[in-house]
Amino acid sequence: MMLECSGTSDIPNQSQSDFSYFFTDDGHLQHRETFKPYRFTFSLNDVSETEREHQTLCQYITQHVYQLLEHKFHLQRVYLDQQSFVFISPGALEYAGSLVVLIQDWGTMRSGVWSWKVVAHEGLERGSQIPYLRCALLESCAIILMNPNEGGQTLEQHVQSVWERLISKSSAEHVFVVAHGYGGLAFVDLFCHWPEEVEHRVKAVAFLDSSHSLWHQPLGKAGRDWLKSHSRTWILSTKPLNRSVGSLKAGCPQISAGTQCHDSAPAVCMESVFRFFAKIMKPKPTATPLQVITRSKSRTSDQNNN
């Protein structure tokens, strides 16, 4: 089946929207009349009204981010079926270099967004995947932004579908995965189904406050050993970023995410994640054998010379 790829957005322009907030040039929501920062309206006596507020906010953020992905960064939509699609950088499937894959948490977030709450209150640089996209492109990496909460598939089904239809058929020499929350569980589920293929294609995995379990998901010893050497887990902690956070049950090195907020973890950890990927890619120095001259060898050499 041919993949349908669209380079333009079919989302209506929101500049004339009835939504009372708009995005400033630096990516923050601001009220159209008062110019004050975004404030979510809770209606304790009207649950349906609160839900509508939530849906309106999510829709507005999603539409704005989709427009940025397509028009500013020139990403393309690739449809997996009539309802489900992902965003990829141009030529990502044919690119022979590195491919970065982003998998967000379960919830209402769509492609390009880690957390709509963080976007609403702290801006796109903190809550969207745009900084990861920008960093990947600067490092000359292709990128795939998964979209597991769009369409009718479960998150696990979506990840497997993207793997089968796109990643496994790409020309990428190295695949790097960033998985947030339930996205980590979905990746490990993929690993359980395609162990040899994942080990062959994936160079490293960054788990961000992930929901996966190396002991409750059927990985086996070989799978756990592979993840131990090819992944890192950033967990919520009061410790500063990158400090070791040990655990007897940890299947891979655990370090502090530098925050206790699940939704903020991707933004806080980003530079650390890309340093981890760079370290994995850096070739290990070749050990140079040193000739150890013992006293007896030195004596023999002196006698021969004499």
pLDDT at 98: 97
Q: Is 192 helix (H, G, I), strand (E, B) or coil?
A: helix
User: Taking residues 95-99, what's their average pLDDT?
Assistant: 97
> CA 210, CA 64: separation in Å to the nearest integer?
27
In a domain, 40, yes or no: no
Q: Is the pLDDT of residue 123 over 60?
A: yes
Q: 277 vs 246, which has greater pLDDT? A: 277
Q: Which structure tokens are listed for 208?
A: 């961000």
Q: What are phi and psi of 2, to 5 degrees?
A: -75, 140
pLDDT at 39: 87
Query: What CATH number does residue 233 fall under?
Result: 3.40.50.1820
In a domain, 52, yes or no: no
* Beta pairing partners, 175: 99, 202
In a domain, 55, yes or no: no
Q: Is the pLDDT of residue 121 over 80?
A: yes
Token pair 């990746």: residue: 187
Instruction: Look at residues 270, 267, 273, 271 and name the one whose alpha carbon lies nearest to residue 126.
Output: 267
- Alpha-carbon torsion (255, 186, 174, 68), positive or negative: negative
In a domain, 47, yes or no: no
> CA 102, CA 40: separation in Å to the nearest integer?
28
In a domain, 28, yes or no: no
Structure confidence by residue, pLDDT tens digits, 202-245: 999 999 999 987 767 778 888 889 999 999 999 999 999 999 98
- Domain of 296 in residue numbering reads as 73-305
Instruction: Look at residues 21, 18, 53, 49 and name the one whose alpha carbon lies nearest to residue 37.
Output: 21
Q: Is 7 helix (H, G, I), strand (E, B) or coil?
A: coil
pLDDT at 291: 46
Q: Is the pLDDT of residue 3 over 50?
A: no
Indicate the pTM of the whole model: 0.86
The number of folded domains in the chain is 1
> CA 128, CA 104: separation in Å to the nearest integer?
10
For 31-93, the DSSP string reads: ETTT-PBP-----TT-HHHHHHHHHHHHHHHHHHHHHIIIIIS--EEEESSSS-EEEE-TTTT
In a domain, 95, yes or no: yes
In a domain, 176, yes or no: yes
| Average confidence score pLDDT of the chain | 87
- Alpha-carbon torsion (291, 292, 294, 299), positive or negative: positive
pLDDT at 248: 52
Q: What are phi and psi of 149, to 5 degrees?
A: -95, 10
In a domain, 1, yes or no: no
